[in-house]
Structure 1
Amino acid sequence: MPVDDRHHDHDRYHDHHRGDDEDRFEERLGEALRQAGGAYETDRRALVAAGATRGHRLLLRRRAAVVAGVASVALVGLGGALLVPGGDGGRQSVATGAKTPVASATPKTSYTGDQLIGLLEKLLPRGEFGSAEARGTNEKLPPYAQVVYNDGKGKAAVAVGFNRVLPGSEQARQTVECPDKVLTLYDSCVVTRLPDGSALKIFQGYEYPDRRADTKLWTADLVTPKGQHVNVSEWNAAAEKGAPVSRAEPPLSTPRLKTLATAGAWLGVVDAIPVDPKAPTAAPAQPSGIDGSAVASTLVSLLPKGVEVVAKSGPDSGYAYAVVDDGKGRSLIQINVQPNMSDVEHQLFGAGTETLADGTKVITRQEPGEKGGAGIVMWTADTIRTDGFRVVVSAFNSGSQVTAATRTAPALTAKQLRAIALSAKWRGLG
């Protein structure tokens, strides 16, 4: 689907018309990049608790099915005649014609939505096309094209989106990084480095991380050394959401998905996107947040006796998790450590907040899990010191938020979570 600068388990992908439809599309632009992006999955409660206006201060966990991507590398095109849609936006037409390259010697300075639809249909294997929608390069939001495609085995939505990322930036890195399987349910994710230095990620997952529907989402994300960013997404249904599954799998195999994402024609589309004169020209310094490895190690040191750590997170700044088992089933424990959160304190600590003698505020919650795994509950202890130093820790009754509950309650009690969040050890990290 079109490039997403931020996630996934919310309703990211929708129709791309103006008005409400465009508002929904902007949600999709929102992970990524993350997934986002990518691709990464962000817990909405964690975001709200962190204060969504915090920008770089928000320490997000990895997105699920990354939707931002990037393409590079030239391609001798796949078969199909260039089909430009009529004014009604919906048509049935069969791609025919010789297999010839789409890229031209003279770069275009702009592309209309109809031209992008034509390019996408040209580059797809021979088949039948239905409704289509797109946005050109001269509009406020990034360009994209989406078509309904049928190779004879059932209708499928196929989309391509375009953007730029700063080479060497965190966004560029995350776009082509596979998500953590503890946090995101997927079947396959492979990242390769192409001969020209571009990075390509092929992801095979699901539109709904909790698998409440059988809609599959496969994506190809590629970032070139210049920061050209192309994302191809495909589904096994005629729409990413709200349409019944029409085939067992999306139509493009991994090799065909790679070929489509790395088509040389797409790079010209990215280059045609107007450059914002106010956009930074160099990657910003890495966030100065607390090292995630230190957070994970401290979390493990504070766990009660009798629980075995079976998995833990990597070095994401400020965020960490551990999966524990007390003999009654796995339980995910996650934690964010965030300095300088005073400006959103009023958003985080309302009714039910306890204020300790030293001014530290504490609030505990017990509520359903955010990501929809069957029977999942989330217990949370949230704390903030007088200088804005915040520690929030949550526990779940499963080893992952996106799989069904494996036990009645989390492995840690609310009292134990409170003790972890209030530990003086966190001060030593930041």
Structure 2
Amino acid sequence: MLTDQHKDPFEERLTAALHETGGGFDADRTALAARGAVRGRRKRFVRRAAVTAGAASVVLAGVGGALVLRPGGTAAEAVPSSVTASAKPTPSATATHATDEQMIETLKRLLPKGDFSEERGQGTEPTDKLKVPAPSAGLVFDDGKGAAAIGVSVGRVQPGGTQARQAAQCPDRVFIPYDACRTSRLADSSVVTVLQGYEYPDRRVDTKFWTAELVTPTGQHITVSEWNAAAEKDKPVTRTDPPLTPAQLTRLAAAKEWRAVANALPEPLPEPELPGSDLHARTNLLALLPKGLKVTDKSSDDGDFAYAVVDDGKGRSLVQVNVQPDMLDVAGDLFGSGSETLPDGTRVAVKQGPGDRGDQVMWTVDTMRADGRRVVISAFNAGTQNESATRATPALSIAQMRKMALDARWWSGS
């Protein structure tokens, strides 16, 4: 399973699993892409051993971390907005539900003049297949300069919560390459982040992926996505850039019509407390790095995941760590016949295989204490997971990574 982990991007495999198990979801691929792809792009690749999505249970036994949103950007200067509608959601019991057709027609009405095709929509009215509505609309738009997929999704988040804060952050370039990203505050105090990136982080296909993600002070959450092709994947590029400019993306995301849709949704559930916030992964990683390495970049926060880009004079090398308590339930998936068990019951598995690009290598040392506490350290022969190799092998040896992963300081505060 570890070999497969590095051959396929996480996002593609999770999407495939959803399509295989979801049935009815597959019919609304464009709208799903608008909802799901942006979240995958904006989250940091920290692969946890088990991810459950609806009916799909996908075991991901690679580096071992969940897709966890991490702060990484800074707010730009405020920009004016013509939005005057109140952002305060009304109680869902009194709100008017939107139908599938109304979602589509609203999107078409808010777009510039052009031709529309492959229209799909999901309203706010609960159905047998979708108990909790996830309203969205998607279509192919052609303004005479080439067909392009465009989608919008609407949701609600806890005001001031983790999801709301992270929606207002630009992703970390170490993991997600992009051309531009800007976070702005509108006149009504809504925050919108416009990202101009790519469908494939490794740029193996030059499909551009641009998004605007808006969160109002009261938690209405709107995401608009567009591509310079008629679909997010498996369609040829039809134009240099997606049709909507960053300013047009912002106006579309800020339209009052989407806020009315958000008002019909249930109140968001309280956010659970994320485990591992006191594990100080960055502090420990930097302290345990072998001497003689120059740190050229590092993660900004200090929870259960951290990275550092190091250089020993022979080229940059990305090193990352994930610290996870209580992982015994997936021990069998992570530690097979080739793993080692130490006298104290700690399991150790070593993997040396390809990285996310064909010329990359990724070395991983995966450890789990007898009580389920897990530390996974990986190193690449490149400064990011999306660039060509900068050296023949990672800057750390397997022996050095093993020593770091087994160090007692990871759990000294537990």
Q: TM-score range by the shorter chain?
A: 0.7 to 0.9
For 1:202 and 1:10, how far apart are their aligned partners in 2? 26
Q: Counterparts of 1:122 and 1:59 in 2: how far apart (Å)?
A: 38
**Residues 282-336 of structure 1 deviation map (CA, whole Å, 9 limit, x = unaligned):** 444x4241447x3212212212222211111011520000001111111100001
Identity between Structure 1 and Structure 2 (%): 46
Within 5 Å, give how 1:255-294 maps onto structure 2. 255-273=247-265, 275=266, 280=269, 282-284=270-272, 286-291=273-278, 294=280
Match of 1:413 among 397, 401, 411: 397
Match of 2:338 among 317, 327, 352: 352
Distance 2:385 2:177 in 1: 9
- C-alpha distance in structure 1 between counterparts of 2:72 and 2:121, whole Å: 22
Q: Paired residue for 1:101?
A: none
Q: 1:48 to 1:11 in 2, by over 3 A?
A: closer
| Equivalent position of 1:70 in the other structure | none
Asked if 1:335 corresponds to 2:321, the answer is yes
Structure 2 equivalent of residue 39 of structure 1: 42
Task: Indicate how the Cα distance of structure 1 residues 204 and 12 shifts in structure 2: closer, same or farther if over 3 A, else same.
Answer: farther
Q: CA RMSD in A?
A: 3.3
1:117 aligned onto 2:104: yes
Q: 3-state DSSP class of the match of 1:187?
A: strand
Counterparts of 2:40 and 2:180 in 1: how far apart (Å)?
A: 16
Which residues of structure 2 form unaligned runs of 5+? 1-9, 74-80, 86-93
Matches within 5 A, 1:111-260: 111-139=98-126, 140=130, 141-260=133-252
SS state at 2:296 partner: strand
Q: Do the aligned partners of 1:336 and 1:391 also contact (CA within 8 Å) in 2? A: yes
CA distance in 1, matches of 2:112, 2:310: 47
Task: Work out whether residues 147 and 159 of structure 1, in 8 Å CA contact, stay in contact via their aligned partners in 2.
Answer: yes
* Structure 1 CA distance for aligned equivalents of residues 173 and 392 of structure 2: 23
Q: Partner letter of residue 339 of structure 1?
A: P
The residue aligned with 2:352 is 366
1:384 is matched with: 368
| 1:159 CA displacement | 0.7
**Would the aligned equivalents of 2:35 and 2:136 in 1 still touch at CA under 8 Å?**
no
On the 8 A contact 1:397/1:407 being kept in 2, the answer is yes
Amino acid paired to 1:324: V
1:21 maps onto 2:26 in alignment: yes
CA distance in 2: counterparts of 1:49 and 1:111, whole angstroms = 31
Name the CA distance, whole Å, in 2 between partners of 1:37 and 1:224: 21
The letter for the 2-side match of 1:172 is A
Distance across 2 between alignment mates of 1:252 and 1:23: 22
Distance 2:412 2:171 in 1: 29
Q: Write the letter of the residue equivalent to 2:283.
A: S
Indicate how the Cα distance of structure 1 residues 64 and 25 shifts in structure 2: closer, same or farther if over 3 A, else same: farther
In 1, the alpha carbon distance for the partners of 2:15 and 2:82 equals 30
* Structure 1 ranges of 4+ moved more than 6 A: 23-27, 49-54, 63-66
Q: CA deviation at 1:373?
A: 2.2
Which SS does the other structure have where 2:205 is aligned? coil
* Paired residue secondary structure (1:420): helix
Runs of 5+ unmatched residues, structure 1: 1-6, 67-72, 78-106
After superposition, what is the alpha-carbon deviation per residue over 1:156-176, rounded to whole angstroms, capped at 9, x for unaligned? Answer: 111111111121221222222
Which deviates the most, 157-166 or 296-305? 296-305
Change (3 A) 1:26 1:424: farther
From the superposition, tell whether residues 208 and 394 of structure 1 become closer, same or farther in structure 2 (CA, over 3 Å): same
Alpha-carbon deviations, 1:28-79, whole Å to 9, x = none?
Answer: 59968xx5456214354x445999789xx9554548999xxxxxx76499xx
Q: TM-score, normalised by structure 1?
A: 0.78
Matched residue type, 1:132:
E
**AA of the residue aligned to 1:340:** D
Pair 127,25 (structure 1): closer, same or farther in 2 beyond 3 Å: closer
Distance in 2 (alpha carbons) for counterparts of 1:289 and 1:43: 13
- Cα contact 1:38–1:174 (8 A) shared by 2: no
